[in-house]
Chains A and B, each alone.
Chain A
Amino acid sequence: MATLTKANRKEIKRQDRKLLKKSFKRNWDCYVYMAPYGIIFFAFTVLPVLASIVLSFTYYNILEAPTFIGLDNYRSLLATDDVFITALKNTLMIAVITGPVGYLMSIMFAWFINELSPKVRAVMVTIMYAPSISGGAYAIWKLMFSNDSYGWANSLLLSVGIISEPIQFLTDVNWMIWIAIIITIWMSLGTGFLSNVAGFRTIDRSQYEAGYVEGIRNRWQELWFITLPSMRPQLMFSAVMSITQAFTVGDVTTQLFGIPSTDYAAHTILNHITDYGTTRFEMGYACAIATVLFAMMVACNQIIQRMLRKVGQ
């Protein structure tokens, strides 16, 4: 390769371009078929991310044209916005707990369920998946943890005699974030979990037989040396799902504690974006917060995917 002359390289480039042009011409219909979906996808999924990065360097209130202000938004995020730092802490706290716990749950339960017979398995999958499709059902947790003695949790603790006064679950700063965490975990068995269930089901059984001959003794060895490596693609997919869910907690906290929650004790980054975007109309600032969130999610994803390549080695 190193012996290629400049002229040679130029020639190769020219030929490449020619091939590319030819390929464009031959496959023009692909772009036609892609276009309807592609345009909508770009406009409402890719463009928002790009726009958010660009607008994060501006002051923008929707009514007037955006004005460029450089890094001012980021500077005030880190230096003067104490609420953002609280939100960042809360989000990281929730993500660090619910992300790994939810992810491990989605693998573990899928594995356990796989040991069951098909009929029992179908029932179990439905039960485990039910919370995540029940949409707004987490509003029910508001009743369960309601502040007065009619709340189910308070009622139980009072009647057993553990506490003498109802706990202010939804306004006590020590409790709020934990309740958000419990609910997020409750809802964490979603698409990624289904992917894992299906992944366990599709593993080639002859691999196990070979494994037993090679001396695999129990289900744990089987899991690490055969099962997990052969479902790495599913693990990667469900990791993406877990990251998304762990970093985008916001609806739950809004529903249970309101915006702003007491002392911002359960204020997440997503809540902060909503606060600036929909009530204060400081779009530039909201976009800067969103950009920080995007960056955190993408970085986290890179790290996890790299770690997953080491499974079974």
Chain B
Amino acid sequence: MEQAKQIDVKKLKVSKKVFNPGPARSRTGNVINFLFLCLVGFFMVFPLIFIVSNAFKPMDELFMFPQKMLVRNPTLSNFTSISILMSSSWVPFSRYIFNTLFVTIVATFFHILLASLAAYVLEKREFPGRNFMSQIIVLSLMFTPAVTGIPNYIIQSKLGMIDTYWVLIIPYIGSSMGLYLMKQFMSSSIPNTLLEAARIDGASELRIFTRIVMPLVKPAWLTMLMTSVQSMWGMTGNTVIFSEAKKPLNYALSQIGTGGVARQGAAAAVTLIMIIPPLLVFILSQSRILDTMASSGIKE
């Protein structure tokens, strides 16, 4: 009898490690839930495993029948072939890296600064036009760059921005997702009384913004940092950039992938290189991002 009890306690401990304990939970339900998630998780990572494996496959394994999913004799030849392909182009490889870094850093910095400033005013001050602006921002979440591509191209070409770095940078600064998340996060994490107290003490609005608000919304601007790095890193700009010297890294690399069957391995290696940085940033900042997302809901 006593032994049986002990075992039960042990089992309970194990299940507590994997599951969130709570009433109204049956163990079978928990197990089914976990197995189901593993199955779905497999569907999700399967193509990614395929990329990793292909990136390390030697030529003969890439064209083997039947195809094996996992690599047998891993090699770095696909990665070295990228650098060979890259060194034959007349623009040095470091130039593409500089382009991407420059565009990403400038756009991220100004996006976080200007969108936060606007979010602060929109959330914490009352002025005519505030509600109108807030509603437009929610609506504009749907109008992603993919949808507004053509009319945007017309505007950018009228402004003479085509084929400059600015065409990649400036539109991103004004993207609405970052501002929206920041604004929602401010509404839930900054008490109005704190701001009033600071105003009574005679702090200027800019001072309140830089000294009180920004340190408090760190999770939100880390989230903006992540989404910004993600989208700037993944940007090819292939419809707006034409000179080789201004192309971002992703554009240059994606040209390798279009080289056909013979470059299959190199294409997989390129894809792997493109996936890793955003994924790493996400893994490192996941808990901050989820903190920010907690306030992302649209309030009626």
Residues of chain A within 8 A of B290, CB atoms compared:
125, 194, 197-198, 201
Residues of A within 8 A of B34 (CB): 116
A294 to B149, CA, bound (A): 12
Q: Determine whether the beta carbon of B300 is less than 8 Å from that of A155.
A: no
Verify if A52 is at the interface (C-beta below 8 Å from B). yes
Residue on A with the closest CB to B236? A136
Residue of A nearest to B16 (CB): A117
Q: Mark B245-286, 1 if CB is under 8 A from A, else 0.
A: 000001000100100000010011001001100110011001
Give the size of the chain A interface in residues (CB under 8 angstroms): 110
Binds A, one of B90-98, B137-145, B189-197: B137-145
Question: Which of A28-36, A70-78, A92-100, A167-175 makes up part of the contact surface?
Answer: A28-36
Which residues of the partner chain A approach B69 to less than 8 Å between Cβ atoms? 152
Task: Identify which of A6-14, A81-89, A212-220 touches chain B.
Answer: A212-220
Q: Is the CB of A45 within 8 A of B48?
A: no
Of residues 56 through 106 on chain B, the ones whose CB sits less than 8 Å from some CB of chain A are 62-63, 65-67, 69
Tell me, yes or no, whether A150 is within 8 Å of chain B by CB.
yes
Q: Is the CB of B289 within 8 A of A194?
A: yes
Q: How far is the CB of B252 from chain A (nearest CB, A)?
A: 13
For A150-163 the 0/1 string (1 means CB < 8 A from B) is 11100110110000
Name the one of A55, A112, A135, A283 contacting B234, with C-beta atoms under 8 angstroms: A135
- A115 close to B264 (CB less than 8 A): no
Please report the C-alpha to C-alpha distance between residue A51 and residue B154 in the assembled complex, in whole angstroms: 9
Query: CB-CB < 8 A to A198: which residues of B?
Result: 290-294, 296
What's the nearest-Cβ distance from chain B to residue A269, in Å?
Answer: 10
Known: A140-B48, A236-B298. 16 other contacts (CB 8 A): A37-B114, A40-B170, A41-B118, A49-B148, A143-B54, A143-B264, A150-B62, A150-B63, A152-B67, A194-B289, A194-B290, A218-B26, A231-B297, A286-B150, A287-B150, A297-B147
- 27 of the cross-chain contacts (CB-CB < 8 Å) are A33-B209, A37-B117, A41-B174, A42-B174, A45-B140, A46-B140, A109-B37, A117-B17, A117-B18, A117-B20, A124-B41, A136-B236, A137-B48, A137-B271, A137-B275, A140-B47, A152-B50, A191-B177, A191-B227, A195-B296, A198-B294, A202-B294, A222-B24, A233-B297, A240-B298, A273-B150, A277-B149
